[in-house]
């Protein structure tokens, strides 16, 4: 998934000694657990004076990726806290490395807490672009190599980064002793599971009730659409994305997109795959396994709308796919649509697009993000 490569920071868990301290494990028992309906990699337990949030390691079953201890800024830090990264809430000035989480803060009416961003050229939010022009939000450069000096000058209360497997550390960011919030929501195993992480982010930014309300609305709309999809008499199969360089990243069967394709009630060649991320495959493998897919949907980032001829200049082998032959190809230009700003935490919007394309008999209207690719 091309766009994800730009966004996902290639680092693992930070050791923020100055923020967490070498605390004993005396205060982590008991508490009220916030029940998660869909998220499998997130646990939230409220204790007297603090909230403990644990992120499960997506790549090592049974292990913890990170533990956070959220303590309200207007209250003293409790004695004998368990080990973890201490974060004083609500956050008021954070660095966001993805448009995904900028979009969520906008939805929670906490955009004023965006102090800095990475990969500004990929954030299609007018508010963020305008605030950066006015220097009210700081452009901190690439998420893969942020401008450390700008982050130091900004003095943010947290840095939001997406972890990657086997990334090898956070580099100089570890030395800043600023809490790093690992946005591993993209490794959830369902669209609603990822969306449910907004409850964690709501706690961080003092928007718990707003986040709960947003999620209930998303859940209701998503389940209604999934139920509707089952009533369609049209049965088709789907292929997602296209080759990037020498690799074609297809969604794993247990990924958020893979599960969403299942919820659309269409066929998917990798539906039995157990991976929750993307699967890197050579072109030939994709052609062999999904060359007869009825529909081909892909995302791209370009200043102009692509067409079938341009696709063939990228790889002439695309003409071998059934969907290409039948002109059932649909593209989403992420440079001109708010795809990444909206769909991760509002998956019902993407589900609707899939249904519009795969089940025209349900007459939901035109897709929001994808359009048919012409000659």
Give which of 83, 107, 84, 105 is closest to 94, Cα–Cα: 105
The number of beta carbons lying within 10 Å of the beta carbon of residue 49 is 15
Strand pairing report for 50-56 and 42-47: antiparallel
In sequence order, what are the beta bridge partners of 297? 240, 330
Give which of 149, 147, 107, 113 is closest to 131, Cα–Cα: 113
Q: How many CA atoms lie within 13 A of 351 on its CB side?
A: 29
Q: Write down the pLDDT at residue 17.
A: 30
DSSP E strands in 10-148: the ranges are 32-34, 42-47, 50-56, 64-72, 85-89, 94-96, 114-117, 138-139
Q: Write down the pLDDT at residue 16.
A: 31
Q: Write down the pLDDT at residue 174.
A: 78
Helix, strand, coil percentages (3-state) for the chain, rounded to 5, are 35, 20, 45
Please report, in tens digits, the pLDDT of each residue of the chain (375 residues total). Answer: 434 433 333 332 332 333 333 233 444 567 899 999 999 999 999 999 999 999 999 889 999 999 999 999 999 999 989 999 999 999 999 999 999 999 999 999 999 999 999 999 989 899 999 999 999 999 999 988 899 999 999 999 999 998 876 655 667 887 898 999 999 999 888 999 999 999 999 999 999 999 999 999 999 999 999 999 999 999 999 999 999 999 999 999 988 899 999 999 999 999 999 887 889 999 999 999 999 999 999 999 999 999 999 999 999 999 999 999 999 999 999 999 999 999 999 999 999 999 999 999 999 999 999 999 998
The burial of 75, by beta-carbon neighbours within 10 Å (0-12 exposed, 13-18 middle, 19 or more buried), is given as exposed
Give which of 104, 110, 136, 108 is closest to 123, Cα–Cα: 104
Q: Write down the pLDDT at residue 254.
A: 87
Strand pairing report for 42-47 and 329-333: unpaired
Q: Write down the pLDDT at residue 175.
A: 84
**Cis amide leading into 90 (omega within 30):** yes
The burial of 346, by beta-carbon neighbours within 10 Å (0-12 exposed, 13-18 middle, 19 or more buried), is given as buried
Say what the pTM is. Answer: 0.87
Q: Write down the pLDDT at residue 22.
A: 29
108-134 core/surface letters (b: 16 or more CB in 10 A; e: else): bebbebbbbbbbbebbbbeebeebbee
């Amino acid at each position: 998934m091309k766009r994800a490569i730009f966004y996902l920071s290639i680092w693992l868990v930070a050791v923020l000694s100055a923020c967490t301290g070498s605390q004993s494990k005396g205060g982590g028992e008991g508490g009220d657990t916030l029940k998660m309906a869909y998220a499998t990699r997130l646990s939230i337990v409220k204790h007297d004076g603090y909230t403990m949030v644990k992120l499960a390691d997506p790549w090592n079953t049974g292990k913890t990726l990170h533990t956070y201890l959220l303590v309200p800024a207007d209250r003293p830090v409790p004695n004998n806290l368990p080990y973890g990264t201490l974060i004083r809430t609500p956050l008021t000035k954070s660095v966001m490395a993805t448009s995904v989480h900028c979009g969520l803060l906008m939805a929670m009416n906490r955009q004023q807490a965006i102090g800095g961003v990475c990969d500004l050229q990929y954030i299609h939010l007018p508010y963020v672009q305008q605030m950066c022009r006015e220097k009210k939000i700081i452009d901190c450069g690439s998420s893969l190599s942020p401008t450390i000096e700008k982050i130091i000058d900004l003095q943010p209360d947290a840095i939001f980064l997406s972890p990657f497997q086997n990334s090898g550390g956070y580099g100089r960011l570890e030395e800043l002793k600023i809490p790093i919030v690992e946005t591993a929501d993209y490794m959830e195993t369902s669209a609603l599971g990822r969306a449910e992480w907004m409850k964690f982010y709501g706690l961080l930014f003092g928007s718990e009730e707003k986040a709960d309300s947003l999620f209930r609305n998303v859940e209701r709309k998503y389940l209604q659409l999934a139920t509707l999809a089952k009533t369609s008499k049209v049965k088709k199969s789907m292929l997602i994305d296209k080759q990037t360089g020498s690799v074609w990243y297809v969604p794993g069967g247990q990924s958020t997109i893979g599960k969403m394709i299942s919820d659309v009630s269409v066929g998917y060649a990798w539906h039995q795959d157990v991976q929750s991320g993307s699967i890197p495959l050579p072109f030939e493998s994709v052609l062999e396994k999904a060359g007869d897919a009825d529909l081909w949907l892909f995302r791209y980032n370009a200043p102009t709308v692509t067409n079938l001829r341009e696709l063939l200049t990228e790889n002439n082998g695309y003409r071998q796919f059934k969907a290409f032959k039948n002109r059932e190809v649909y593209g989403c230009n992420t440079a001109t649509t708010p795809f990444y700003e909206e769909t991760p935490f509002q998956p019902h919007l993407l589900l609707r697009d899939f249904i519009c394309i795969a089940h025209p008999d349900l007459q939901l209207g035109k897709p929001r993000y994808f359009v048919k690719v012409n000659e």
